[in-house]
Amino acid sequence: MSNQKKQIIMNEISFWKQNKLLPGQYCDFLMTLYSEGNHSDDEITGQAKKAIHNVEKRKKFNLAVFFPISAFVILLLLFTIQFEWVVIAVAAVFAVSCLIGALYFAKRNHLLAVMLQLATALATLGVTLKVSTTYFAGNNEMLYIFLIINCVFWLVSGIMMKIIYFTISGILGLLVIIGAWIYFL
């Protein structure tokens, strides 16, 4: 096996050891096997830290690019006038895909899961506002009902998933919307 391939494998083994994907003694055995007994822990640790840093850097870049672009596309779609049903369908698919992504990444990457949960909540809010303004134009009671449904959804999600910011958002949203509804009656 070439030295380059061995080095790649040894970097992966170091990554596994540092992230506790395999027990330490297994990683040590594999490292000794692939290095043929000639490996330095400091050298491998430095290379593994560099590999981990590169992976984390790529994840942060992906997050930094994905969310502004997706938010811009959703906002652009929500404020277009023609073909409302297409806009609503695209935003709904985006909301559902964010929800599925949040459920998938919840155990692996907490930050990504939080961002996807927030994107789901905001996309759902955008879809309901677009439906309300498109199909129930001028009917403020339907707007209030849709907003209350969103807040109840946030409240229930916050309680069920034990997410404090959804619970607080749901409660505050309900208080503000019901208060505004009563005030403007």
pTM above 0.85, yes or no: no
For the chain, the domain total comes to 2
Range of the domain at 175: 136-185
Nearest residue to 11 (alpha-carbon basis) of 57, 38, 49 = 49
In a domain? residue 47: no
Please say if the pLDDT value at position 135 is more than 60.
yes
Among 5-9, 59-63, 114-118, whose mean pLDDT is lowest? 59-63
Position 17 in a domain: yes
Indicate whether 144 belongs to any domain: yes
Write down the residue that tokens 């698919």 correspond to. 93
Instruction: Give mean pLDDT, residues 151-161.
Output: 91
pLDDT in tens, 67-81: 666 666 666 666 665
* 172 falls within a domain: yes
Q: Is the pLDDT score of 46 beyond 90?
A: no
Give yes or no for residue 120 having a pLDDT over 70: yes
Q: Which of 14-18, 84-88, 158-162 bottoms out in mean pLDDT, i.e. has the lowest?
A: 84-88
Determine what percent of the chain falls in helix, strand and coil, rounding each to the nearest 5: 85, 0, 15
Q: State the amino acid at position 105 in one-letter form.
A: F
Structure-token match 């409660």, residue found: 171
Higher pLDDT, 127 or 149: 149
Q: Which amino acid makes up residue 25?
A: Q
Is 45 contained in some domain?
no
In a domain, residue 159? The reply is yes
Residue 43 or residue 92, greater confidence: 92
